[in-house]
Structure 1
Amino acid sequence: MFLSRIHLNPHRRKTRAALANPQIMHAMVASSLPPGMESSDKGRLLWRVDRDGHDVRLYIVSPYKPGLEHIVEQAGWESDPGQTTDYTRFLNHLAIGREFDFRVTLNPVIQQWVAGSRGSRIPICGPKNQLSWLQQRTEQWGFRIVDYDAPEDTIEEGSRTRRNHVAVRILEEDNRSFEKRDHGNRRRVTQRHVTFLGQLTVTDVALLRRALTHGMGRGKAYGCGLMSLAQVR
């Protein structure tokens, strides 16, 4: 597995188009790999865009080493060719009990079943409900949110704990609307993208490794599900 990072130039026309439409960005990212190599038993192609002020970064997780040249040429900076590292080394050093800072953009939804049909996906609204939705799923992804013995309502509201660390909070929320081709027909899709920032403790190495390499939740083709980890600061 490989982890890549590219600094995007938001002043470029193609960059602005890709940032506005997840389908365009997905096509750009997918073309960094040869056809048929977007997934393997090791993992699948994932991507996420982080925007911190004027700093716009594209992260890619891929089962094979991607070619970043065309992305840099169309949407990046000539002075920054991008960076790709061997992600497997990091994955092999995961261990139960280790703590990390994390960042992930997810599409919080629940499935509402209707008799005689597939039902529909209902977006989770409101920070308190979205944080609760995340905490209910961390076990299946191999981690738990660091708690530092703070009261539950403090965690849900994303307030600072007594150690002056945020256990988990919502960094931003964005409703993305775009047209999608489905069996030759076009339909408009709206997704709610919520970016969570916080600290976690590893509880199951195999489950966490799978979450990091295969993605978390829905909307993976459209910039959701890639969680990045960093040493606790």
Structure 2
Amino acid sequence: KLERYGLANTAETKDYDHFLSSLNQGKKYRFKLTANPSYRITDAKTGKSKVVPHITVLQQTKWLLDRSEKYGFDLVKSEDDEETYEMNITSRDWPRLRRKGNKIVKLSRVTFEGLLEIKDLQQFKQAMVTGIGREKAFGMGLLTVIPME
């Protein structure tokens, strides 16, 4: 439809099933994930809840570690130090984004990069398709992987 504006061939779709079928359980991959590490708290008096961001690098790292099993992967531990992971936070910011009705929200956006190993192929494929965490409408939660060779 963009051809009418002089932008022929500007969009292309590709079949994702071929890539998903190439993933292997037990294999290690480089990954990148930009996410909104957050959690819900409930006021004991009112019963109302709200979503708040994890602030520190330690909290944000724990957020990803806590979700890894649910999404079918493990973060790879460092060969030099079994207490650390082959993962870094490469970006942290607080973008102001516009919701419906022009309401401006300030979100925590964190980019993780490192190595993961697929432990449950079906759960991992689901994470690749549906994303991880909140605020997917703002481009967060997309997990991308590259096979290690």
| TM-score (normalizing by structure 1) | 0.56
Taking only the aligned residue pairs, the percentage that are identical comes to 30
Task: Within 5 Å, give how 1:184-223 maps onto structure 2.
Answer: 185-223=101-139
Equivalent residue, structure 1, for 2:54: 124
CA distance in 1, matches of 2:30, 2:140: 18
Task: Within 5 Å, give how 1:97-136 maps onto structure 2.
Answer: 97-115=26-44, 116-136=46-66
| Residue aligned with 1:85, SS | coil
Deviations 1:43-96 (A, max 9, x none): xxxxxxxxxxxxxxxxxxxxxxxx8879xx5xxxx9x94654321011112221
CA distance in 1, matches of 2:62, 2:3: 40
Pair 1:209–1:173, CA change in 2 (3 A): same
CA distance in 1, matches of 2:122, 2:115: 19
Amino acid at match of 2:94: N
Deviations 1:108-162 (A, max 9, x none): 001111133331111111212211111111000110001144232x43xxxxxxx
Unaligned runs of 5+ in 1: 1-66, 156-166
| TM-score (normalizing by structure 2) | 0.85
Shift of 1:223: 0.7
Amino acid at match of 1:101: R
Equivalent residue, structure 1, for 2:20: 91
| Residue aligned with 1:189, SS | strand
Amino acid at match of 2:43: V
User: Relative CO higher for 1 or 2, CA cutoff 8 Å, sep ≥ 6?
Assistant: 2
Runs of 4+ deviating beyond 6 Å: 67-70
CA distance in 1, matches of 2:95, 2:29: 29
RMSD: 2.5
